[in-house]
Structure 1
């Protein structure tokens, strides 16, 4: 009788364990992921952004794209979108989010829209159509005729194609295995700011300059990668995070070095692999080595060198990472209100005089920043305070922490240091653009460089960087990371070494 009771109890216990296991499996279904991309290549003759004046595209090198990844764990859905663009302004972000939420029900706050900062992309700004219509005719001429301006029709194309890519990725989502890892690439990116013998900081002091003392900031050589595989083991797509300005400019319209990152990954995993590239805190990091003793590589070679090495490192990480399930998919946002810095009365009066004198008399650089001071003064009439969105997107054990700025590298490293996640991707120029955001130290008596100058583009108060870092870290601590996937453990040793391997030497 006692034996029968124990047997029944054991059977009941097994049933309960199996039921609990099945319920747990039902509660944590395999994550579904979809990828898609669309073409946003500008037309030849359109403006090429990237400076404070006008420049125009004269040739084509490779297509610009908007690339989307959608992750769905059955409870939450997030979209991570990368555009081959210099930046994306807040009004464009809002329009894309609104249309996507209406069309395929992804919540607006769960959509991350990032610009790779390609300096060889389409006309997304600096100045938006109608942005200075409130100002005087004199200021309007400086804005629309003397500055880099967005093309209204092109902006509409970017919105349309981005919405299509996100919604297609949503429709294509299917059960997927995911993995994450980090590699190191140390030969392609360099801090461009240097302490000089005169006590201040220069941006790009030029190789061979004898007055260089040392770099004024760090680099971040990590190549962060998320890989997504279908049920047949084919890589569907990946997210790649790296810190380097997209200023290699291979010649003509281009996604910049990101094109070669994609080419390398597709060369190994297949031409249909979608590569969602996410630039990290690259505000003071470029491909230019100001300490090099050698001639700079030509633009095309430089693009191949940077993109090829980053892509190759991403392939190594993808081949090495264990795969599993991303159980937690989540997003959080925080909106900061950060005041813009104002030029003094004397500064503004001097700027007006220089603008009216013209670049020939004032000097080209002085004239450019004088023009920017006048434009900033007009912008402050409408927008004395900037809306700054900081977003956290959790993908299993990885967290993406955004800023809408050309964020200095040290600030990205500060975010990584404060995040509790095993892998953190700082993602700059996301969900808007507020220009350069340097460290506070860049503004002190030993600071300098054009990133610290007041302009209509860069003008937030000098504590903006730490404010964004604190907000990002705060959001990361409100989320709990999944454990990183691990390869299956090796079986226990069975006391039987390989028979071929344990043979003694044989000498006849």
Structure 2
């Protein structure tokens, strides 16, 4: 009896120490759902109204589910400008009801496509209790979500995750990274006047240097079935999706997907998650040449990121044993306060909409201050979810913001994981979150404007960054797959192990 117990304990110790001599193979499933808006719906991304008049390519929800036998997580890429918290909560509730995946284990990351469906800026009902003139500013003069589309959008999210969960199967997984250094640029520039401007424009003689970095890393997770076929992948890269080919479009993500599918097959699902790209776009403000079309830009950005992802996928070592885990924390972060005199002045400005371009520009920003005042009275402090989702040796760290690139680089440096992939505009949206420097005496630029969209206190970015780092440090990183070891040497190639034959 003692001998039997000793053998059993030895086997348990061996199983734990080996990391899975008897481990359950990881199960993975992919799915996608078309959530393209209808022609005539609003085109989001600005502070006024614009409408879709043509179709270029489908906007999708792309999902992957990882199940290690103990825990299950879902990573969901959205071809959307952003997703608001109400829609996050609705989608997560339905997903948990239908699959059992906990709400905090579902990551919903928007690509920030400026050519997608109307998920904001104003949500239906938000200004129903406002005075008539303010209600008109919100509903008639501002970019607004479409209630019917929001139902379609949430339904697509739930449908994609449920299908991915239902089709999960034992597969091999690899994780890696590449570099693409030619398609993204920091759009903020230090100027000769000591301030920082966003998009100071081509040929501006007062530009000194970029005010922030880029992140050229292309993060990749690949998944292969038993036949050795790539079934799907996750790609992480930091760049605004503002290339915008004409019409409804996933933006450059469409071309990224096409390049990967062109190599591995048309059924491959490509889950794209945007990195910390709040101040990074495809626009090179120092380029002395005339910019080409949005179509060309989208093809270049998506094509080159996709090509780098293909190179990474071709080299990945794979494993069937992969741990998944998750952590999350909700921060309470106040909005910046509006100066009373400024608010009074803005209230007066918005009473009459001008036609002159300069006056109209001032009117737009006055409108934003008035709308922000309404939000601040209802919700002076924002709930900000920070999430860490582990997939083996990789961790995804989320922020619900257009998060400045430097913060993502800081997280990568401090994380204990071999691969750290920041995900911006995930699980909600609180607008731009700049660095303290950007909001300091030598800062400035578009991202620092006080608006109904962007308004958190200057330390918000640091709070988010440090929380993400803390969550990553509470997880146990997995081992980077090394591939199968060679069998013992049994001899060389019989055709090749001969001396030269000269006669």
In the superposition, the TM-score normalised over structure 1's length comes to 0.94
Q: Does 1:284 align with 2:279?
A: yes
Determine if contact 2:319/2:483 at 8 Å carries over to the other structure.
no
Q: Which residue in the other structure is 2:60 paired with? A: 65
Number of matched pairs: 498
> Which of the numbers 379, 382, 393 marks the counterpart of 1:397?
393
Q: Deviation digits for residues 343-372 of structure 1, max 9, x if unmatched? A: 101111121222124233662221111100
Q: Which residue in the other structure is 1:3 paired with? A: none
Determine if contact 1:435/1:458 at 8 Å carries over to the other structure.
yes
How large is the RMSD of aligned CA atoms in angstroms?
Answer: 2.2
Distance 2:65 2:11 in 1: 32
Alignment of 1:60-99 (within 5 A): 60-99=55-94
Local SS of the residue matching 2:421:
strand
Q: Deviation digits for residues 197-224 of structure 1, max 9, x if unmatched? A: 1110110011211110000000000000
**Taking structure 1 as reference, are residues 494 and 87 closer, same or farther at Cα in structure 2, changes over 3 Å only?**
same
Q: Deviation digits for residues 386-444 of structure 1, max 9, x if unmatched? A: 00000000000000000000000001111111110000010000000000000000011
Q: Which residue in the other structure is 2:233 paired with? A: 238
Shift of 1:26: 6.6
Q: Which residue in the other structure is 1:439 paired with? A: 435
Q: Which residue in the other structure is 2:179 paired with? A: 184
Q: Deviation digits for residues 160-180 of structure 1, max 9, x if unmatched? A: 111111111000000011000
Determine if contact 2:171/2:223 at 8 Å carries over to the other structure.
yes
Shift of 1:308: 0.5
Distance 1:347 1:14 in 2: 77
> Which of the numbers 160, 166, 191 marks the counterpart of 1:165?
160
Determine if contact 2:243/2:282 at 8 Å carries over to the other structure.
yes
Determine if contact 1:278/1:427 at 8 Å carries over to the other structure.
yes
> Which of the numbers 190, 193, 216 marks the counterpart of 1:198?
193
Shift of 1:342: 1.6
Q: Does 1:314 align with 2:297?
A: no
Q: Does 1:209 align with 2:180?
A: no
Q: Which runs of 4+ in 1 moved over 6 A?
A: 11-20, 491-499
Distance 1:291 1:502 in 2: 59
Alignment of 1:341-380 (within 5 A): 341-360=336-355, 363-380=359-376
Shift of 1:299: 1.0
Determine if contact 2:24/2:321 at 8 Å carries over to the other structure.
no
Alignment of 1:259-274 (within 5 A): 259-274=254-269
**Taking structure 1 as reference, are residues 495 and 207 closer, same or farther at Cα in structure 2, changes over 3 Å only?**
same
Determine if contact 1:47/1:148 at 8 Å carries over to the other structure.
yes
Local SS of the residue matching 2:332:
strand
Alignment of 1:461-476 (within 5 A): 461-476=457-472
Q: Deviation digits for residues 144-189 of structure 1, max 9, x if unmatched? A: 0000000000000011111111111000000011000000001100
Q: Deviation digits for residues 215-262 of structure 1, max 9, x if unmatched? A: 000000000000011111111110000010000111100000000110
Distance 1:117 1:216 in 2: 22
Alignment of 1:10-159 (within 5 A): 25=20, 28-159=23-154
> Which of the numbers 386, 400, 404 marks the counterpart of 2:382?
386
**Taking structure 1 as reference, are residues 161 and 200 closer, same or farther at Cα in structure 2, changes over 3 Å only?**
same
Local SS of the residue matching 1:153:
helix
Distance 1:27 1:457 in 2: 51
Distance 1:381 1:312 in 2: 48
Structure 1 unmatched runs, 5+:
1-8
Distance 2:99 2:66 in 1: 13
> Which region of structure 1 is more displaced relative to structure 2, 323-332 or 222-231?
323-332
Q: Which residue in the other structure is 1:409 paired with? A: 405
Q: Which residue in the other structure is 2:246 paired with? A: 251
Determine if contact 1:326/1:395 at 8 Å carries over to the other structure.
no
Distance 2:252 2:234 in 1: 15
Alignment of 1:482-501 (within 5 A): 482-489=478-485, 500=496
Local SS of the residue matching 2:389:
strand
> Which region of structure 1 is more displaced relative to structure 2, 495-504 or 57-66?
495-504
Shift of 1:21: 5.4
Shift of 1:190: 0.4
Shift of 1:284: 0.5
Structure 2 unmatched runs, 5+:
none
Determine if contact 1:326/1:397 at 8 Å carries over to the other structure.
no
Local SS of the residue matching 2:437:
helix
Shift of 1:295: 1.7
Shift of 1:17: 6.8
Q: Which residue in the other structure is 2:415 paired with? A: 419
Local SS of the residue matching 1:268:
helix
Distance 1:19 1:169 in 2: 33
Q: Which residue in the other structure is 1:4 paired with? A: none
Q: Does 1:225 align with 2:213?
A: no
Q: Does 1:457 align with 2:449?
A: no
Q: Which residue in the other structure is 1:6 paired with? A: none
Local SS of the residue matching 1:443:
coil
Q: Does 1:303 align with 2:310?
A: no
